[in-house]
């Protein structure tokens, strides 16, 4: 099982949109995927199910990380109806905020890792949509992950936020809390190519972080929000911006899956 955390230091950068774009790409490419909605706002849950979950959710899994709890929480998504691969979700819950402490014990940090080791279902990739902070829930996600993606916008605060998020992944691995974890890099989202400010900030990020700035850069296009608002896979979106967006997320998913070859 290959676990990837999608995280950010601040809200509003499109972290959930990136998670859902990657989930759509996985379904399109026939890759069996599980999304774990670790954000108490549960936006990935709404995007994948079209409504809030009413069954066992991630808060139940974290409070009781047993095989039966994990298996009961996994829900097939409507996106995958008629598809050749699975796209399932462990729904989010505002109750998960109760464990989002900035200073968890090492035992609590390992709760999600322990839970995933006890699931019965098999997946090619697990995408964890983290809260927009580096507190306890994100630390749980990183402790369970093989790779971390940091989503950032090309703005004034992007450098500091990206640097802190990447450093947390390194620190957790060095401390033994995330033994498999490697930071994969930065996903630059909502880029406007005609914006001089965005051009400057993207160049700044590339200068500071080098190859850690992943390609492709995701441009700001209305199709991503419209597909998400309609609770449909991006690859089924019929708008003019659909082909470019789907090509970008297909390429980004290939970068992620290709990274499995190194440890």
Q: What backbone phi and psi angles, to 5 degrees, belong to 67? A: -55, -45
Q: Is 215 left (phi over 0), alpha (psi -120 to 50) or beta?
A: beta
Is the CB of residue 140 less than 8 Å from the CB of residue 18?
Answer: no
Report in angstroms the alpha-carbon separations of 138 from 37, 89, 243, 244.
11, 17, 32, 30
Q: 142, exposed or middle or buried, with CB in 10 Å at 0-12, 13-18, 19+? A: buried
Structure tokens at 211: 């190859």
Rounded CA-CA distance 218/245 in Å is: 8
pLDDT reading at 263 higher than 70? no
Q: Is 142 left (phi over 0), alpha (psi -120 to 50) or beta?
A: alpha
Rounded CA-CA distance 75/56 in Å is: 9
Rounded CA-CA distance 85/235 in Å is: 14
- Residue 47: its pLDDT value, please? 92
Is the CB of residue 228 less than 8 Å from the CB of residue 79?
Answer: no
- Angle between helix axes 15-28 and 222-229 (nearest 10 degrees) is 80
Report helix, strand or coil for 48. Answer: helix
Q: What backbone phi and psi angles, to 5 degrees, belong to 120? A: -90, -25
Mean pLDDT of 75-94: 92
pLDDT tens by residue, 193-242: 999 999 999 999 999 999 999 999 999 988 777 777 777 888 888 777 77
pLDDT tens by residue, 106-147: 899 999 999 998 887 889 999 999 999 889 999 999 999 999
Rounded CA-CA distance 168/170 in Å is: 5
Structure tokens at 84: 């050749």
Is the CB of residue 167 less than 8 Å from the CB of residue 135?
Answer: no
Rounded CA-CA distance 223/249 in Å is: 13
Mean pLDDT of 147-167: 89
């Amino acid at each position: 099982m290959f676990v990837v955390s999608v995280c950010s230091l601040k809200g509003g950068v499109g972290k959930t949109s990136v998670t859902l774009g990657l989930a759509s790409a996985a379904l399109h490419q026939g890759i069996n995927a599980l999304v774990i909605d670790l954000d108490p706002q549960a936006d990935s849950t709404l995007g994948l199910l079209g409504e809030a979950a009413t069954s066992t959710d991630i808060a139940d899994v974290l409070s009781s990380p047993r095989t039966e709890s994990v298996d009961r929480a996994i829900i097939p998504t409507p996106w995958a109806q008629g598809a050749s691969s699975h796209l399932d979700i462990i729904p989010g819950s505002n109750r998960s905020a109760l464990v989002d402490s900035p200073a968890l014990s090492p035992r609590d940090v390992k709760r999600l890792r322990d839970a995933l080791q006890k699931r019965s279902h098999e997946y090619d990739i697990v995408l964890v949509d983290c809260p927009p902070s580096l507190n306890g829930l994100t630390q749980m996600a990183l402790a369970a992950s093989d790779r971390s993606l940091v989503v950032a916008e090309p703005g004034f605060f992007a450098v500091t936020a990206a640097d802190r998020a990447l450093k947390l992944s390194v620190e957790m691995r060095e401390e033994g809390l995330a033994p498999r974890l490697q930071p994969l890099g930065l996903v630059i989202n909502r880029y406007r190519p005609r914006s001089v400010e965005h051009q400057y900030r993207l160049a700044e990020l590339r200068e500071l972080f080098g190859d850690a700035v992943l390609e492709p850069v995701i441009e700001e296009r209305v199709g991503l929000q419209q597909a998400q608002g309609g609770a449909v896979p991006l690859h089924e979106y019929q708008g003019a911006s659909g082909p470019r967006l789907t090509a970008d997320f297909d390429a980004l998913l290939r970068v992620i899956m290709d990274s499995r070859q190194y440890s």
